C-alpha cells in the first residue's frame, strides 16, 4: 500500500524504531535530573553518571553511544544509564516492549510540561478519528521542521569532548 493511500485510509505508518543513540539523546534532553547541572559536553554527562551511579563512564564512551559508534554497551553501562535517568533497563532494548516504555516516558514528559496541561491531553480523547489525525499531522509537520532546523544548526556534538 502506498504512503498516500495509507494516510488517506487513516492507517498511520509505524515510526521507525529508534537507535540506542537516539534513545540516549532523548534522555539527555528530556530526563536529565533536575538536581544535576545541565550537560554541555560528553564529559559532563559521563561525570554526572559516574558520580551518581559509581559506574565509570568515559566521555569517549558516552560520545560513541550518543553517535551510534558504540552499539554494544555492557549491561553495567545500560544499568547505570537507566538508574541515572530513572528509566527501566528495558527502555534500551529493541523489542516492542522497549518502544512501549519509550511511549510512556514521552507521555510523562508531556504531563510535566506546563505548556501542555492535562486538559489539553483530555481534550484529545474527545476528538473524532479525523480530528485526531489532523492534530497528529500538524504535530508531525512541526516536528520535521524543527528537526531540519536542528540539523542545520549542528546541535549534535561531533567530537568526544
Encode pLDDT of 46-72 as tens digits.
999 999 999 999 999 999 999 988 778
pLDDT of residue 158: 41
- Asked whether the predicted pLDDT for residue 4 surpasses 80, the reply is no
Using an 8 Å Cβ cutoff, are 68 and 20 in contact?
A: yes
The C-alpha torsion from 113 through 103 and 130 to 125, rounded to 10°, is -60
* Of residues 150 and 113, more confidently modeled: 150
pLDDT of residue 71: 72
Question: Could you report the per-residue pLDDT of 84-122, keeping only the tens digit for each?
Answer: 998 988 888 877 777 788 788 877 777 777 777 777 777
For CA atoms 5, 141, 149, 94, the dihedral sign is negative
Using an 8 Å Cβ cutoff, are 65 and 46 in contact?
A: no
Q: What percent of the chain has pLDDT over 70?
A: 84
Q: What is the pTM of this model?
A: 0.62
Predicted confidence band at 42 (pLDDT cuts at 50, 70, 90)?
Answer: very high
pLDDT of residue 154: 60
- Asked whether the predicted pLDDT for residue 156 surpasses 80, the reply is no
Q: Could you name the CATH architecture of 18-116?
A: Orthogonal Bundle (1.10)
Kindly state the average pLDDT of the residues 126-151: 87
Predicted confidence band at 36 (pLDDT cuts at 50, 70, 90)?
Answer: confident
Residue-averaged pLDDT of the chain: 81
pLDDT of residue 121: 75
Amino acid at each position: 500500500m502506498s504512503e498516500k493511500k495509507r494516510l488517506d485510509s487513516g492507517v498511520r505508518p509505524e515510526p521507525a524504531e529508534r537507535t540506542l543513540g537516539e534513545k540516549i539523546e532523548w534522555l539527555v534532553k528530556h530526563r536529565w535530573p533536575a538536581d544535576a547541572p545541565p550537560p554541555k559536553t560528553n564529559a559532563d554527562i559521563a561525570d554526572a553518571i559516574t558520580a551518581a551511579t559509581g559506574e565509570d563512564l568515559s566521555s569517549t564512551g558516552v560520545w560513541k553511544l550518543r553517535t551510534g559508534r558504540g552499539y554494544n554497551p555492557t549491561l553495567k553501562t545500560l544499568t547505570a544509564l537507566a538508574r541515572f535517568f530513572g528509566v527501566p533497563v528495558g527502555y534500551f532494548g529493541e523489542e516492542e516492549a522497549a518502544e512501549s516504555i519509550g511511549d510512556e516516558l514521552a507521555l510523562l514528559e508531556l504531563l510535566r510540561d506546563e505548556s501542555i496541561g492535562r486538559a489539553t491531553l483530555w481534550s484529545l480523547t474527545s476528538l473524532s478519528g479525523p480530528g485526531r489525525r489532523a492534530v497528529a499531522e500538524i504535530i508531525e509537520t512541526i516536528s520535521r521542521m524543527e528537526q531540519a532546523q536542528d540539523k542545520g544548526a549542528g546541535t549534535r556534538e561531533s567530537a568526544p569532548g
